[in-house]
Amino acid sequence: MTTIERPGTGSERLRSLIAAELERTRARTAQLTDAVDDDDLMRQHSTLMSPLVWDLAHVGNQEELWLVRDVGGREPVRRDIDDLYDAFKQPRRDRPALPLLRPAEARAYLSTVRAKVYDLLDGIRFTDRPLVEDGFAFGMIVQHEQQHDETMLATHQLRAGAPALAAPAPPEPRVRVGGEVLVPAGPFTMGTSTDPWALDNERPAHTVDLPAYAIDAAPVTNGRYRAFIADGGYDEPRWWSAAGWRHRVEAGLSAPMHWRRDGDGWAYRRFGRWSPVRDDEPVVHVCWYEAEAYAAWAGKRLPTEAEWEKAARWDPGSGRSRRYPWGDTDPTTEHANLGQRHLWPAPVGAYPAGASPLGVHQLIGDVWEWTSSTFRGHPGFVAFPYREYSEVFFGADHRVLRGGSFGTDRAACRGTFRNWDYPIRRQIFSGFRCARDADPEEAAA
């Protein structure tokens, strides 16, 4: 469980929660890295991604920097590798040429660091300073490692060779979902000031007043996206922005990443296995420019980040913003497709228990959803505990994604969680839903 915003949580209970989250997260890291041999771990499968062994040692290095050295005040374990695993000093394309730790050495390093973390956890006071209040630093490290686990999962999707990962198929649809949902005009609370493990870019809570708008009840499906392709969507510049059309031409885009023609239809490669594209699943591996073009073709647009969050969190009955669409309780297997439990998006209608009060489905899990918004700080933003987590990425270069994917862990996914990437990126597990302005009659209803 990661919901810890209950008042009066005892130190021992918090210690147990942190230990369990650290252990659970490391087990996933091990699963992703033990699935392939040492040569595969050292290989760079795409210039967009690090070798898996770099991610492995990097999560240990961040844990050492923040927990062992900063929180614990202990002597460094491996100061000599700090520069090797500094993501800002070492571009991804250059990482294979670095003198990286070999897999056995990296695993031993992580084990040593983790032993020191467990030791300091036994005696930590969670009220000494803001960095450790409510276990924040530990939660930050759990989320950091889970984010790299999702990155490693994306690397597995890009690697060639025999399949290395397996998981059961997602559940089948339980309800029919389609059309749009009208979100009435009015204010709502965006962001959070109370969630103790929320990261700096989710803070502070603030009021946003929006006009009425309509938003798709579900993410755009493969079937709908195939209609866009069949209608010549990739060949018609009028659906694309100038920058989007330039990228489409330069990159030779003609379908989502990992799709290929299969007779009269399409097939999709999922972690080394080809299967027919299923029409009722959310489309995945599309870039922002593709999402923008589809929305224009459909006579709609991408939602703003605020519109996405209001649809996901606002409860018209109480007027408050929930932590998740379904409420404040942590996600279960009934609510959302999260945590690498499955290796592709669930078909639309598979998680009715996860719908918002307004009837918007699958806002959490399945696919990261592109929004029209550039990545900025909320009003009153304060960088914490370092500028490089969020602030250095603010600006027009990055577009915001919301909601998490099937590869996102519950610790790193909530209604306020914000992701961002370049609009050309599609190796990530990205999809989208559309929105539009409400017409006057709808808005007045």
pLDDT at 40: 97
Mean pLDDT value across residues 44-48: 96
Residue in 239, 226, 337, 335 with CA at minimum distance from that of residue 283: 226
Domains of the chain: 11-158 (1.20.120), 167-445 (3.90.1580.10)
Mean pLDDT value across residues 2-10: 46
**pLDDT per position as a tens digit, 157-208:** 999 989 999 999 999 999 999 999 999 999 999 999 999 999 999 999 999 9
275 has pLDDT over 80 = yes
Work out the pLDDT band at 3, boundaries 50, 70, 90. Answer: very low
CB burial of residue 229 (10 Å; 0-12, 13-18, 19+):
middle
**pLDDT per position as a tens digit, 364-398:** 999 999 999 999 999 999 999 999 999 999 999 99
pLDDT at 441: 84
Work out the pLDDT band at 10, boundaries 50, 70, 90. Answer: confident
Q: What are phi and psi of 242, to 5 degrees?
A: -60, -45
**pLDDT per position as a tens digit, 124-164:** 989 879 999 999 999 999 999 999 999 999 999 999 989 99
415 has pLDDT over 90 = yes
**How far apart are the C-alpha atoms of 34 and 265, rounded to whole Å?**
35
Residue in 1, 23, 25 with CA at minimum distance from that of residue 13: 1
- The torsion region of residue 258 among left (phi > 0), alpha (psi -120 to 50) and beta comes to left
pLDDT at 9: 53
**How far apart are the C-alpha atoms of 209 and 189, rounded to whole Å?**
9
Work out the pLDDT band at 4, boundaries 50, 70, 90. Answer: very low
129 CB-near residues (< 8 Å, 6+ apart): none
Mean pLDDT value across residues 242-250: 98
Work out the pLDDT band at 48, boundaries 50, 70, 90. Answer: very high
Percent of the residues in the chain that have a pLDDT greater than 90, as a whole number: 95
Percent of the residues in the chain that have a pLDDT greater than 70, as a whole number: 98
Q: In the predicted model, what is the mean pLDDT of the chain? A: 96
Mean pLDDT value across residues 76-99: 96
pLDDT at 5: 39
Provide, for the chain, the percentages of residues in helix, strand and coil under a 3-state DSSP scheme, each rounded to the nearest 5.
35, 15, 50
pLDDT at 203: 98
CB neighbour burial string for 129-166, b if at least 16 within 10 angstroms, e if fewer:
eeebebbbbbbbbbbbbbbbbbbbbbbbbbbeeeeebe
What is this structure's pTM? 0.96
The pairing of strands 418-421 and 180-183 is unpaired
52 has pLDDT over 70 = yes
**pLDDT per position as a tens digit, 93-114:** 999 999 999 999 999 999 999 9
